[in-house]
Amino acid sequence: MKHFDVFNGDADGICALHQLRLASPVDSVLVTGMKRDIALLDRVDAAAGDRVTVLDVSAHVNRTALFALLDRGARVQYFDHHFAGHLPAHPRLHASIDTSAETCTSLLVDEYLHGLHPLWAIVGAYGDDLAQPAEAYADRLALGETQRRRLRELGEAIAYNAYGDCEADLIIHPRELYRALAPYVDPLMFMDDAPICRRLSEQKSADLGLAALAEPELALAGATIYILPDDPWARRVRGLMANELAKRYADLAHAVLTHNRDGGYTVSVRAPRVSPSGADAVCRKFHAGGGRLGAAGINHLPQDALPRFAREMDRAFPEPGMAVPPQARDI
């Protein structure tokens, strides 16, 4: 019997898997990639009797491959917080999926493990830009300000590493980053011991400095749209820049676009923080688009679709702090 661990290469996916494997060590085949690299189940060649654990990748995107695995006799355990669509009951599928805006896969795994490794759950939540749930959990554990700051720094650094449109854009491949932290029960000890933590933080700061110089391409009534240069730093900083804009201008939605190899754009969208919904609905209107209520993206937006994207953003977020219900903005 083989075991496959399939996980998003961002902080949430890595920290969710780490919690599980600290609790139940398994010699597994690791299947992961960049943050946008989420159609991962196609790469799993599991057969009857094999076990597949999936973390932080959309069941909707992987639906065909998921049911192909089940048809071949594999057993699948699925943890996620993205849009899944309807998943019918199956005796070999055990799914823990919660799409609410205030949770992430690391927190779902923490609940499943009854709080066995809470610090890593907090790292994953911080890294998934869920500061309020992370702080609430830190409150329950009575963590000090220094501990919180460092856990947040680690989560954001791991999350940052997953951004890019090709492996050459990455600081370190997420598979290797997971292997680097796998021996550590305590995330603070990992920060003290591992040089990669310092490298991630330094690169993130340098890229953010360049992003701070950018001006919006379009300023709509309830949203801004940025188009960054065709450079590796821009592709890495895209998601973090969207998060930073959402923090600074909490009543607006934000989209950050970078040029991709297919001649179009890769897009990160953030809903207004004061009403964190609508980002996924906008992105699902385009091929290869999806995500969750407050944060979503499009892997490839053709250049000629940019005006339509701007109209959808304007329709979804017509005023500061507003998101129109999905049924009201269908085409």
Mean pLDDT of 108-130: 97
Instruction: With CA atoms as reference, report the closest residue to 28 among 3, 53, 54.
Output: 3
**Cα separation, 247 vs 148, whole angstroms:** 18
Q: Could you report the per-residue pLDDT of 224-238, keeping only the tens digit for each? A: 999 999 999 999 999
Q: Is the pLDDT of residue 203 over 80?
A: yes
Mean pLDDT of 145-160: 95
Q: Is the pLDDT of residue 331 over 80?
A: no
pLDDT reported for residue 322: 72
Mean pLDDT of 163-189: 94
Furthest-apart CA pair in the chain: how many Å?
Answer: 56
Of 5-14, 207-216, 233-242, 314-323, the range with the lowest mean pLDDT is: 314-323
Q: Is the pLDDT of residue 323 over 90?
A: no
Which segments of 39-172 are extended strands (E)?
51-55, 75-80, 93-97
Non-local (6+) Cβ contacts of 205 within 8 A are none
How far is C-alpha 23 from the geometric centre of its chain's CA atoms? 23
Mean pLDDT of the chain: 94
Q: Is the pLDDT of residue 93 over 80?
A: yes
CATH 3.90.1640 assigned to 3-203: yes
What percentage of the chain has pLDDT greater than the value 90? 87
pLDDT reported for residue 88: 81
pLDDT reported for residue 45: 96
Mean pLDDT of 26-33: 97
pLDDT reported for residue 324: 63
Residues of the chain with CATH 3.10.310.30: 218-328
Q: Could you report the per-residue pLDDT of 240-256, keeping only the tens digit for each? A: 899 899 999 999 999 99
Q: Is 187 exposed, middle or buried (0-12, 13-18, 19+ CB in 10 A)?
A: buried
pLDDT reported for residue 68: 97
Neighbouring C-alpha atoms within 13 Å toward the C-beta of 96:
18
Q: Is the pLDDT of residue 26 over 80?
A: yes
Q: Is 205 exposed, middle or buried (0-12, 13-18, 19+ CB in 10 A)?
A: exposed
Place of tokens 């309830």: 222
Residues of the chain with CATH 3.90.1640: 3-203
Overall pTM > 0.85: no
218-328: CATH class: alpha beta
Place of tokens 């196609």: 42
With H, G, I as helix, E, B as strand and everything else as coil, classify residue 225.
strand
Instruction: With CA atoms as reference, report the closest residue to 106 among 41, 17, 40.
Output: 17
